[in-house]
Amino acid sequence: MTTSIQLQPTNPDRKEALLTIAGFDPTAGAGILMDSAVFRALGFHPLAVLTSVAAQGTNGVAQVQPLSAAFIKRELQIIQDEFHLGAIKIGMLYSAGAIKAVGLFLRASELPVVLDPVLTASGGGALIVPHALRTLEKELFPYCQLITPNLDEAESFSGTRLITITDMETCAGKLSKRWGCAVLLKGGHLQGEVVDVLADNGKITRFPHQRQREGLNVRGTGCALAAAVAAFLSKGIPLSEAVGAGIRFVESALAGAYSTGYSSNVGFLNLPEALNPI
């Protein structure tokens, strides 16, 4: 039986704040703009700490301009001084310096943290320097409640080729044990049935769902899912339920996806449409 989850503020004059730490995508299809839009759609006030600016379009990344670790620390300090947070979602962290700056911030926090390990853009192009992968695991993963790799990202971390759902379950379980937190391995890039796999404390849960809008390359689904799960976790919802609610949120947004610009095969999530079924 599907649980209906409503995120209604107890005080209509006050909204809980959620923080996204991520990069800037000028198309607004992913990154910090997408995360902020998800938080607003679910009734929260978005706070955003920028880590980098990507000159990118729907066909790939032309250039990345990372912000300095000192600047990122300054951003985080202001947030810490002025706001009470409900949860944190982390996306693109291009450099080891940025990762370490965020790690210092997380050490003082006991909030739910959802990390989407963004390695490459959907249109192509690296969004993290290769030598920073180990730093990401060492400095940030110990503070996360959930990490949400897609197939390619899970293969990069595990060194294993993932072809079947069973492969996904084995990989998610191993990564969860290695990282000491829950892992949601997203199966949207797998051929055939779409299944996301959650590994948490030795338990494996499958989340099958319908493949939607075939032929339309919709951007930002991973960002939106991680942000939505963080929002649900901020309300004390158990992890498995929060993941299920996040998946339904993205499914609904996918159903209303649209195209814009010159490319008719590139789509964007329609977030306001996603409020009704939650």
Best CA proximity match to 68, nearest among 31, 107, 97: 97
Instruction: Enumerate residues 6+ apart whose C-beta is below 8 A from 263.
Output: 58, 59
Q: How confident is the model at residue 229 (pLDDT cuts 50, 70, 90)?
A: very high
pLDDT recorded at residue 7: 62
**pLDDT in the model for residue 6:** 55
Q: Which structure tokens are listed for 33?
A: 């703009």
Q: Please give the Cα distance from 186 to 237 (Å, whole number).
A: 20
Distance CA 264, CA 277 (A): 27
Return all residues near 55 (Cβ < 8 A) that are at least 6 apart: 26, 61, 62, 63, 64, 65
- Band (278; pLDDT cuts 50, 70, 90): very low
What is the per-residue pLDDT for 4? 52
pLDDT digits (tens, 9 = 90+) for 5-60: 656 555 668 899 999 999 999 988 899 999 999 999 999 999 999 999 988 877 77
- The pLDDT-based confidence of 141 (bands split at 50, 70, 90) is very high
More confident residue, 28 or 77: 77
Q: For 79-118, how does the pLDDT look when each residue is reduced to its tens digit (9 = 90+)?
A: 999 999 999 999 989 888 999 999 999 998 899 999 999 8
Full set of structural domains in the chain with CATH: 17-275 (3.40.1190.20)
- For residue 7, the surrounding DSSP H or E stretch is none
Identity of residue 34 = M
Which value, in Å, is the radius of gyration of the alpha carbons in the chain?
Answer: 17
CA neighbor of 167 nearest in space, from 193, 187, 142? 187
Q: What is the pTM of this model?
A: 0.91
Three-state DSSP at 196 gives strand
